[in-house]
A and B are shown apart, each in its own frame.
Chain A
Amino acid sequence: MSSKRKLRVLVAKPGLDDHDRGAKVIARAFRDAGMEVIYTGLRQTPEQIVKTAVQEDVDAIALSILSGAHMTLFPRIFELMRKEGIGDVLVIGGGIIPSEDVPELKKMGVSEVFGSGTPTSVVVNYVVQHVRRR
């Protein structure tokens, strides 16, 4: 039986910012790279994001934040992920996240942060390399 395993990635926008062009570009890039992308749209709460990640059994979560609320949203998301037992899922961030906040975010568990303008191929390759095979 041929291996049909596909990478499943959740692309979500937590919080209240409505700028989703970047998230859509990334979602399409993941799709073009052969991944199954669960795109949940705008205004997702941390609870919605984590529940979705569990139900969809995703390998990675890509969060797009342009509102500046990353230092509140990421901790809450990681707390819920641990509670639901999916702490090992790869988490990356994108959007507008100041570089001085990145070290703190990485300590929380964010694998990498890709500022807007990062070539999509870089993001795609990173996910493929760093996803934990489950």
Chain B
Amino acid sequence: MEASVIKVDQLVDGVLKGDLRAIARLISLIENDSPEGLRAVKLLYPHTGRAYVIGVTGPAGCGKSMLIYRLASEFRRKDKTVGVVAIDPTSPFSGGALLGDRIRMQNLSTDEGVYIRSMATRGTLGGLAKATADAIRVLDASGKDVVFVETSGAGQSEVDVIKVAHTILVVMAPGLGDDIQASKAGMMEIGDIFIVNKADRDNADRAVEEIQAMIELGAQEGRWRPPVIKTTASSDRGMENVIKKIEEHVEYLSRTSAKEKLDRRSEGELAEALKYRLTDRLMAELKNDSNFAKLVERVAARKIDPYSAADRLVSEYIRERRRSRRKP
């Protein structure tokens, strides 16, 4: 048997048993886009779908990590196992990253029922969403009941990443000028529960009012009405309310055409995977095609634009496939 096949089997086995090293190694393989990682994720897929995924997003400095620490601790008290994927930005200059979200959660590092993994964005939009989704699948397959995904900052890539979650918490803090940032980044549309953390600060109540006003604007009859909750994670206040609202959201999701929702998420997963595989495989084939090199010259000489050139390659490719299929 090939060494890589054995390795994949061992990793899959290890993950299903909850072995820390297997989980850790597999997430690394996923981050590095390795074919073995992909094989392992495929084998683990049937074992996924149990974990409840909670997205936590919001501007830097609003206390997301501390909040996750408190909520995770609450879940642990209820005997649930927890996974955390904490994402921080990669520096566009150096390609490196300072991953410090763990600092707030370190008391949970030695808890056997908690797995924390720090991930860097690594600068590619699509790549991050895929790596995060796969990392969550690994934690899911390893038996975690709840998985938190924390993204920092505001922006389209964060919104894309967090869409894998069942419930999305949008966290803000008074005085950070967040209300404008939040509405710009699409946070208002995506949030299921809004949290004003650091509520011991001035203007907490005003922040709550402003967010509620914005929610009213988008409110629809019969649909989930996002609540706004005040918390002070640093002194562990407000957590019971947050958990209560999460549980209400879980119940709401299960009531309202659960199958339709599940299918929609799976459709999203399949579309993402298709996008990724299609680009990969097609690019590899087309780049080796002699037509590709010829078209590059013509594009450089301004004899054809890139879009028309791309159309030509794709049409020719489809024609070739039809021709080869018709052969006896």
Contacts and interface: CB of A to CB of B under 8 A. Distances in A.
A102 interface: no
Contacts of B254: none
Nearest to A57: B24
B280 A1 contact: yes
B37 to A, nearest CB: 11
A76 to B, nearest CB: 14
Contacts of A84: 20-21
Contact of A55 (B32, B90, B98, B116): B116
Given A38-B118, A40-B102, A84-B21, A47 B28 contact: no
Indicate the size class of the contact surface on chain B: 20 to 34
Interface in B80-122: 90-91, 94-100, 102-103, 106, 109-110, 115-118, 120, 122
Contacts of B98: 27-28, 31, 37, 39
A44 B106 contact: yes
A21 interface: no
Contacts of A55: 20, 23-24, 109, 115-117
Contacts of A41: 100, 103, 106
Given A31-B94, A36-B97, A52-B109, A86 B118 contact: no
Contacts of A36: 90, 96-97, 99, 118, 120
A14 to B, nearest CB: 12
Interface in B115-159: 115-118, 120, 122, 127
A39 B100 contact: yes
Interface stretch (A2-10, A61-69, A92-100, A113-121): A2-10
Contacts of A125: none
B289 interface: no
B20 A54 contact: yes
Contact of A54 (B24, B96, B127, B280): B24
B162 interface: no
Given A48-B106, A54-B21, A86-B21, A4 B32 contact: yes
B31 A39 contact: no
A24 to B, nearest CB: 9
Interface in A20-51: 27-28, 30-41, 44-45, 47-48, 51
Nearest to B23: A55
Contact of A33 (B20, B96, B110): B96
A34 B122 CA distance: 10
B106 A32 contact: no
Contact of A34 (B27, B94, B109, B118): B94
Contacts of B24: 54-57
6 contacts: A8-B28, A31-B97, A34-B94, A36-B99, A36-B120, A85-B21
Given A36-B97, A40-B106, 20 more contacts: A1-B33, A1-B280, A2-B33, A4-B33, A6-B95, A31-B96, A32-B91, A32-B94, A33-B96, A34-B96, A36-B90, A37-B96, A37-B97, A37-B99, A40-B103, A41-B100, A51-B20, A52-B116, A55-B20, A57-B27
